[in-house]
């Protein structure tokens, strides 16, 4: 594996999956003088789910009550 001229490297998919490194995951690097360690950043303020909810909040264009939504999903 090579580091590009921009300092980029591809993390293999199986390692990303095992480490839980999803797209948009904030990561941090630690260097102990010999070894570089990469891990998901601690104390993340907002996860992927929260970010999706924030982006979608207020985008609905039809005002339905909870009862109306439930009736649609139940096919009553």
CA distance 27 to 24: 9
Q: Give the max Cα distance, the chain.
A: 66
**pLDDT tens digits, residue range 10-60?**
999 999 999 888 887 889 999 999 999 998 888 756 777 888 888 888 888
Q: Apex CA 65: angle with CA 52 and CA 54, to 5°?
A: 15
pTM of the entire structure? 0.49
Q: State residue 76's pLDDT score.
A: 56
Q: State residue 31's pLDDT score.
A: 96
**What does each C-alpha distance from 49 to 26, 44, 45, 52, 56 come to in angstroms?**
14, 12, 12, 5, 11
Q: State residue 6's pLDDT score.
A: 96
Checking if the pLDDT of 8 tops 90, the result is yes
Q: Of 51, 25, 52, 53, which is closest to residue 38 (Cα–Cα)?
A: 25
């Amino acid at each position: 594996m090579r580091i590009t001229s921009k300092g980029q490297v591809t993390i293999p998919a199986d390692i990303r999956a095992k480490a839980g490194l999803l797209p948009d995951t904030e990561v941090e690097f630690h260097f102990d003088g010999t070894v570089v360690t990469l891990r998901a950043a601690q104390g993340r303020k907002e996860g992927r789910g929260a970010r999706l909810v924030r982006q979608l909040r207020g985008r609905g264009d039809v005002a339905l009550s909870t009862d109306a939504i439930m009736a649609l999903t139940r096919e009553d």
